[in-house]
Amino acid sequence: MVRCLLGAVCLMLTLLMQSAYGAGTTDTWYYLQDRGLSVTEVATSELEWQRSLWQAPNLGFTQHAYWFRYAIPSVTVQDGSWYLWLHNAILTEVDVWVQRNQMPPVKVQPAAMRMPAYPLRLESGSDYVLYLRIQSNTALQLPAELVTETELLTLKEEQDSLFGLFVGILFSMMLYNLVLYVSVRDKSFLLYVGHACALLFFVFSWQGLGSRYLWPHWPAFQNMSVALSTFSVIGFSTWFCGVFLSINQHNFKGTRVFWLVRNLGFMGLLVTPFMPYSWAIFSSSFLSFFAVLMVISAMVARVSLRHRPSRLFVMGWTMYVIGALVMGLNKFGLIEVTPTSENLILWGAVFDMVLLCIALGDKFHDERNLKIRAQEMAIKAVRREKNAKEMAISKQQQAQRALQEAADAQDQYARLLERRVRERTLELKRTQQNLEHVSELDALTKLKNRRYLVDRLQQELKACKDKGCSFAIVMVDIDHFKQVNDSHGHLAGDECIRSVGRLMQDRLRNGVDIVCRYGGEEFVLILPDTREAEAMVKAENIRSYIAQTPILCEHQRIMVTISVGVMVVDPDAVPARSEEVIQQADQALYQAKHQGRNCVCLA
């Protein structure tokens, strides 16, 4: 039975996911907020229309009226009767105009249907634009389809058949459990009946069945019924869940919040007639999120999947809760409006009703068997108590011996662990030192990298400021390096960079001056305790040395030159950040390149 129901759930979800609103359309919707414009002004003025994020526009809860525009290109138009079918029966105010070939828009009157449908007479070879002005006390959603008259009748018949099947199942489950309640007087069955009635009320309200068939002459009650049905579903759903799972303060920490959500649901039924429609609908939809969270929390805390009624309860409520959560996200404009997001809660409720009906029967049967077993267990409990006391004394003695052995073993292990900790600490220190050294090296040239450069510059700036000794940095760039890559290949370019780095290192003070690879073909030299004249001499020495030294790259000897920018930091004007020093050296390098390259410039 359970496997069959799971298969039916998967099949229904597959069917729902195969369809989407807007089938047959090729363009998209645009919208803008209504600020007192007429349809003529909307059609002729240059306005900032916003493109709908989804195929079916979904603006969530809003008090403002909006204009919507949809263009029907002439290439998609065929002669005949068409209908603009809106899958939203609870929009407060809907006005539709159609514009043909830039002519003045013509207002369209709706057809008498449960879901709003507007007849359109389209002719091929013409361009049409639809303008809709919509205001809603509920979520402002526009799931629309442009269908032919035949498609409309077929889809309407399928939709009405599915809703008829849904209502029939809920009504049957309600009557069946009402009879069971009269027979066994179990509160759970009566709450199940209330839950089913609330869902029926919810369906008739949200799907337009009530306004079409039950209260067509009471439009005010239709707006009110949306919030009333949502509050009633919240109240009865949480109440039934709490009673079925037998939650209390001892087995569920959120008991008070759980019952508060139920009470707020029933309180909403009382205050809705005295609240603005939009407030009531928004508050009921917002409360539904907390109801879903509390039901999920209660199931996690109380359900054991080894218990067949609990498994059925989880299966039914999981589908129902997912549907409620999806619908809530839908109404708040967080997800796209699709048949799945709109109807998942309905079919989740159907399977929930069927599974809960089976679970209630199993639970009642299990509780009756538990009473019989309780008497037998009471007799056995006395015997077990005697045996347990004897075993407890024996185990206590064994535990004392084991405790002593454990204490000895723990002391020995502590000494071993202390020795290993000392060994691991020394090993980690050595590893950390190696990692710090590796992290400071450039992978290609094995010179110091940019990270080391930034840290070392901060140290030199601090030393310059504290000790009053100047230092210099030299920024070097290989001239026309791209030609080396293009002519000899990138491997040769890499070897060129490595060779230039080695040549510069050969001309510097060992252990004092530092060569860092800045990036690409650029290097930065740090010359501690160096003044301006000395820095310029060293820079010129390096430039001329590289210009005169051939470099072996991919079995070929090539000659390269470098451009050099020098920046000397004096104790009297120490920059606050290392980036300023690098920036000034870079400017000097740029000046050297501007002067024709293969030269040295001072910042």
How many CB atoms are located within 10 Å of the residue 175 CB? 12
CA distances from 534 to 473, 539, 566, 572 (A): 12, 9, 11, 18
Q: Which helix (H) or strand (E) holds 107?
A: strand 106-108
- According to DSSP, the residues that pair with 476 across neighbouring strands are 523, 564
Are 151 and 23 contacting, i.e. CB atoms less than 8 angstroms apart? no
For residue 199, give every residue at least 6 positions away whose Cβ sits within 8 Å of its Cβ, in sequence order, or none: 170, 233, 349, 353
- Distance of alpha carbon 250 from alpha carbon 254, whole angstroms: 10
Are 525 and 476 contacting, i.e. CB atoms less than 8 angstroms apart? yes
- Distance of alpha carbon 428 from alpha carbon 424, whole angstroms: 6
- Residue 145, SS3 per DSSP: strand
- Distance of alpha carbon 257 from alpha carbon 261, whole angstroms: 6
In the numeric block, the tokens 């009566």 are attached to 190
139's tokens: 């979520």
471's tokens: 């230092």
138's tokens: 């509920």
Beta-carbon-side half-sphere exposure of residue 442 (alpha carbons within 13 Å): 22
Active site residues: 521
Q: Is the dihedral of CA 331, 333, 335, 340 positive or negative?
A: positive
- Distance of alpha carbon 356 from alpha carbon 362, whole angstroms: 10
452's tokens: 């080391």
11's tokens: 């099949």
